[in-house]
Amino acid sequence: MTEKIGVLGKKASQRTDVERVVVTPLPTVYGEFRAFGYLDHERGDEQVALVHGDPGAEGVLTRLHSECLTGDAFGSRHCECGDQLASALAAVAAAGSGIVVYLRGHEGRGIGLLAKLRAMALQAEGLDTVEANLALGLPVDARDYGVAARILEDLGVRSVRLMSNNPRKREALVRHGIQVAEQVPLLIPPCESNITYLRTKRERMDHVLPHLDAVAHLS
């Protein structure tokens, strides 16, 4: 990987596994971003980080967003992923700076699109999201955040304010050398279609979702 200059003009560490390939302006409905395109040579995935303003190196408002075709593109109400992505982009734009790293290869918490659809079919029959993955002989969560940490390093970021309800994301970033100054809740109002899924994430996967207590009436 050739030597790169981070957002602040600081040299990022030389790495051979994740390569910055392109940077281009990307106007969006949320505001003006720059799209940093990366190639993960180890996994073969193409990754992108959307950067707004000059985030700096410390305490950067950051979202690590796992790819979710059904939620992000199709507006599925089975999960809150699409709303979380929109909220994160809007929050970064409102703050004046920040980063959204969109992580491809994370579909279905890392099991892939078709396996995720099979798991959803099992959930429709009564299993929860954890039980469905296990019934398919698949891990509950197979995601790895090493590539996200290396992208942040390339952008000159040392610490983040992480928009996430998942404590494992925080732990993973710290393990990979990115400090987490604060974990910022990203709470989306639940609906009847996703309340069971969200409760399972809170009860069985340790997601911090205190707003679910106010919607006991949902089935």
Cα 167 from Cα 153, distance rounded (Å): 21
Cα 6 from Cα 151, distance rounded (Å): 10
Cα 185 from Cα 189, distance rounded (Å): 12
Query: Which one from 72, 83, 141, 154 is the annotated catalytic residue?
Result: 141
Q: Which residues fall within 8 angstroms of residue 173, CB to CB, at 6 or more apart?
A: 64, 145, 148, 149, 152, 160, 162, 179, 180
Is residue 143 part of the annotated active site? The answer reads: yes
The 46-52 sheet, strands edge to edge? 18-27, 32-40, 46-52, 98-103, 60-66, 159-163, 179-184
User: Which of 151, 152, 156, 178 lies closest to 5, judged by CA?
Assistant: 156
User: Which of 156, 186, 28, 43 lies closest to 107, judged by CA?
Assistant: 43
Letter for the amino acid at 102? Answer: Y
Query: Which one from 143, 150, 154, 170 is the annotated catalytic residue?
Result: 143
Is residue 199 part of the annotated active site? The answer reads: no
The catalytic site residues sit at 141, 143
